[in-house]
Structure 1
């Protein structure tokens, strides 16, 4: 009887843990999607709350911090018009979540509309009950690039 109770307890705790992870992964997926919308809409106030003060942004033309990224978005020197997400993988490691997106980014850069395939890596950390973006890295890839799940 004791072994049946222990087995049931283990199964219950395992399913609760799995449900929590799945819920966190869904939350991070939605947060990533919302971030792309905020970038397209130039909602720098919302992004300023999401981006950690020490966050870094890696682009094809350089790497910089939060203030510069917000300035770029607000000024429109890079206007992230639309990010079509073709594939997405989320992994949660305690209070850290990593998102890999395979996207086609349509942006207005240096006076031209461009469409580029990227794999974008996003790193989030849960701080005081809120998820903060620590890193956003664009990696140029071929259109045949795939994310393994």
Structure 2
């Protein structure tokens, strides 16, 4: 399970109620800045309500930000569910 979308799509999902993000525990953060681009790689454990069911899943999240006129803007958000012992 995973996905890739921009800020607009993420906000649509949240506003529709399709997913309610309750809590994200963020682990193993790395940041790489190249010129006006920042690439963030994180491992998270996400607690969410999906279709009325509360679930916790581990994800690898990649965020790409672009600095424009002194402001950082989300260019891309990608996430992939990872398999760990006990969640296969």
> In the alignment, which residue of structure 1 is the partner of 2:38?
97
TM-score, structure 2 normalization: 0.84
TM-score, structure 1 normalization: 0.52
> SS of the counterpart of 1:134?
strand
Q: Which consecutive residues of structure 2, in runs of 5 or more, have no partner in the other structure?
A: none
> In the alignment, which residue of structure 2 is the partner of 1:131?
72
Q: How many residues align?
A: 85
> In the alignment, which residue of structure 1 is the partner of 2:15?
74
- Does 1:112 find its partner at 2:53? yes
Distance in structure 1 (CA, Å) of the matches to 2:61 and 2:46: 10
Distance in structure 2 (CA, Å) of the matches to 1:89 and 1:114: 26
Equivalent of residue 88 in structure 1, options 14, 29, 33 = 29
> SS of the counterpart of 1:97?
strand
Whose radius of gyration is greater, 1 or 2? 1
Distance in structure 2 (CA, Å) of the matches to 1:133 and 1:141: 23
Distance in structure 2 (CA, Å) of the matches to 1:75 and 1:66: 14
RMSD (CA atoms): 1.9
Task: Looking at secondary structure, tell me which structure has more strand per residue.
Answer: 2
